[in-house]
Amino acid sequence: MFWLALVAAAPSPAQARMSEAVEAGRPLVAHVTVALADSEHQNIGPVSGDLGDGMRPGVNLYWGALYGVEKFLPKKGWRIVKRTTIPDRRVLRRVVFERRVRRAGRSVRVVVVADAWAGPNIRDATIRYFEHAAGRDLEFVTIGDEHIAAGGAAHVVAYVGHNGLMDFDIPTVAPREGGVSAAIALACISKDDFAPVLDRVGAEPILLTRSLMAPEAYTLDAALLAWFSGGDARAVYVAGSDAYCAYQKCSTRTARKMFWAASGSP
């Protein structure tokens, strides 16, 4: 029994990779791909007014609205250290967040790079997310004199938005080379469509969904904090579903059924 407990407690490859970064004094990094809600170009339910304008991140449901990524994360202790645009015109805005978490008794720096993809380009955004999960499209984000490895080098890759894989196909993504990243996909029923691709590329799913849901930033915040603080997939599953329960005012039982994590959920 004792031996079995030791096996169960062994860190996953994605966790071990984060521990190596911490020991080397490097920040932990998440790269978040946000496909802006788009009432015209996406097969989504009715979205009122500007919330569904996929070309205006400042008012978009998933970015600039009350629970959008750029609007909400600063309320939870994430400091914006950079707002910028990048040469890729499909990405309308990039925001870099930073905060510190407690991990194994020490204070650890966490950097989140979030990209607001134009709603009409949701297919390209989805492909880019999977390329990041496969360890490709490496990027360096400059903060002052420091160059932070993001993109395919991130420790966590996350997708926020509509599950476009219910509407279109994407090219086959080649398997990952190098260290494993953890993966989050906050989109309706993402387990069915995202999990097979993540498995093929060698990423470690720590929070996906099993039903229709609102992919808002309170779930992302809770999941990232649980994972970067040293939690396992189970801790991320619980934290993410509890946050969803609190903001959506649904029962814990309902929220638990909505989410899924490899080796973490019932």
The position carrying tokens 């449901």 is 61
Q: Is 2 inside a domain boundary?
A: no
Which amino acid appears at position 84 of this protein? T
Q: Is 265 inside a domain boundary?
A: no
- Model pTM? 0.94
- For residue 182, the surrounding DSSP H or E stretch is strand 182-186
Q: Is 248 inside a domain boundary?
A: yes
pLDDT band at 237 (very low <50, low <70, confident <90, very high): very high
- For residue 146, the surrounding DSSP H or E stretch is strand 146-151
What is the distance between the alpha carbons of residues 248 and 83, in angstroms, rounded to a whole number?
A: 29
> Per-residue pLDDT for 151 more than 90?
yes
Domain range for 122 is 14-260
pLDDT of residue 7: 44
Number of folded domains that form the chain? 1
Q: Is 266 inside a domain boundary?
A: no
What is the distance between the alpha carbons of residues 104 and 233, in angstroms, rounded to a whole number?
A: 17
Q: What is the pLDDT of residues 68-98, one digit of tens each?
A: 999 999 999 999 999 999 999 999 999 999 9
What is the distance between the alpha carbons of residues 52 and 41, in angstroms, rounded to a whole number?
A: 10
**Is 150 in contact with 139 (CB distance < 8 Å)?**
yes
Q: Is 3 inside a domain boundary?
A: no
Best CA proximity match to 116, nearest among 166, 58, 45, 198: 58
Alpha-helix runs per DSSP H in the chain: 2-9, 13-23, 69-72, 122-133, 190-201, 217-228, 233-248, 252-258
Q: Is 117 inside a domain boundary?
A: yes
Q: Is 240 inside a domain boundary?
A: yes
Q: What is the pLDDT of residues 193-236, one digit of tens each?
A: 999 999 999 999 999 999 999 999 999 999 999 999 999 999 99
pLDDT of residue 248: 96
pLDDT of residue 142: 95
> Per-residue pLDDT for 3 more than 80?
no
What is the distance between the alpha carbons of residues 92 and 116, in angstroms, rounded to a whole number?
A: 6
What is the distance between the alpha carbons of residues 131 and 139, in angstroms, rounded to a whole number?
A: 12
Q: Is 203 inside a domain boundary?
A: yes
